[in-house]
């Protein structure tokens, strides 16, 4: 079997779990354009970033798609999807930025870089069980993500790897040159090893960012509104 054959097998299984059983629906669930899956099953090159998205959302083994090695599904599901539960019938550390030894998530009024370098002291701690896996809570500057996240709001940040990005969700990104930005992340249309950053403010144009330029990335797990 080729990678395209294996991808077709996976997509067929995914569609069996969906109310709308189309390639377009699967594409949109993964944060891609409606024709993306159909293009991959046609002639478009299957890329690592798309396979990582499949693994993050459905527990599909991206390496199996690309190489045929291992099982179709990873040993532990990263989501609770019905698709991962089909594998039996088919036959098939948080890094402690901002840790202080106190209970709860540390809250900072400081840039991310100073936090991960241990140069900032938390102003308080927030103890909520749903955010216990977050590295820190940080104050946001700017209104590009308003009304969901506005200037002065605080966001709970869980550190992840680029392979754990959920396309279409809000993330905090820190680049190697120290730039931090809160944005929606999507696959870049032109290059497979880039992300497209978009904002709530429609007048701000999308920006492409190379995966190699990312120093740290955090999924935004929640928001404390300050208005």
pLDDT tens-digit profile of 191-220?
A: 888 999 999 988 889 999 999 999 999 999
pLDDT at res. 86: 42
Q: Residue 16 domain-assigned?
A: yes
The most distant pair of C-alpha atoms in the chain lies apart, rounded to whole Å, by: 56
User: What is the span of the domain harbouring residue 33?
Assistant: 3-90
64's tokens: 């199996």
pLDDT by residue (tens digit) across 65-98? 999 988 888 754 444 344 444 443 333 333 334 4
Neighbours of 50 (CB within 10 A): 23
Q: Are the C-beta atoms of 160 and 218 separated by less than 8 Å?
A: yes
138: closest CA among 161, 164, 114, 162? 114
Does residue 26 sit in the same domain as residue 71? yes
Q: State which of 26, 61, 90 marks the end of a domain.
A: 90
Q: Residue 110 domain-assigned?
A: yes
Does residue 63 sit in the same domain as residue 112? no
* Helix/strand/coil for 181: strand
pLDDT at res. 194: 93
- Count of the separate structural domains present in the chain: 2
Q: Residue 97 domain-assigned?
A: no
CATH number at residue 184: 2.10.109.10
Distance CA 58, CA 41 (A): 18
> What residues of the chain score a pLDDT lower than 70?
75-103, 227
């Amino acid at each position: 079997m080729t990678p395209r054959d294996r991808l077709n097998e996976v997509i067929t299984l995914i569609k069996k779990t969906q109310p709308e059983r189309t390639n377009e629906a699967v594409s949109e669930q993964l944060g891609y354009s409606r024709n993306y899956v159909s293009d991959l099953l046609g002639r478009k090159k299957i890329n690592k970033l798309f396979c990582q998205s499949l693994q993050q959302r459905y527990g599909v083994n991206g390496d199996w798609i690309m190489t045929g090695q291992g099982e179709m599904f990873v040993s532990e599901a990263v989501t609770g999807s019905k698709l991962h539960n089909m594998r039996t019938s088919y036959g098939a550390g948080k890094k402690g930025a901002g840790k202080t030894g106190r209970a709860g998530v540390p809250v900072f009024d400081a840039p991310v870089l100073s936090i991960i370098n241990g140069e900032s002291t938390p102003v308080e701690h927030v103890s909520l069980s749903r955010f216990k896996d977050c590295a820190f809570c940080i104050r946001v500057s700017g209104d590009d993500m308003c009304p969901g996240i506005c200037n002065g709001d605080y966001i709970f940040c869980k550190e992840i790897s680029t392979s754990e990005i959920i396309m279409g969700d809000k993330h905090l990104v820190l680049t190697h040159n120290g730039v931090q930005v809160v944005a929606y992340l999507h696959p870049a249309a032109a290059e497979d090893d880039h992300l497209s950053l978009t904002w709530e403010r429609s007048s701000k144009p999308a920006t492409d960012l190379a995966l190699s330029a990312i120093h740290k990335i955090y999924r935004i797990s929640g928001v404390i509104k300050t208005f």
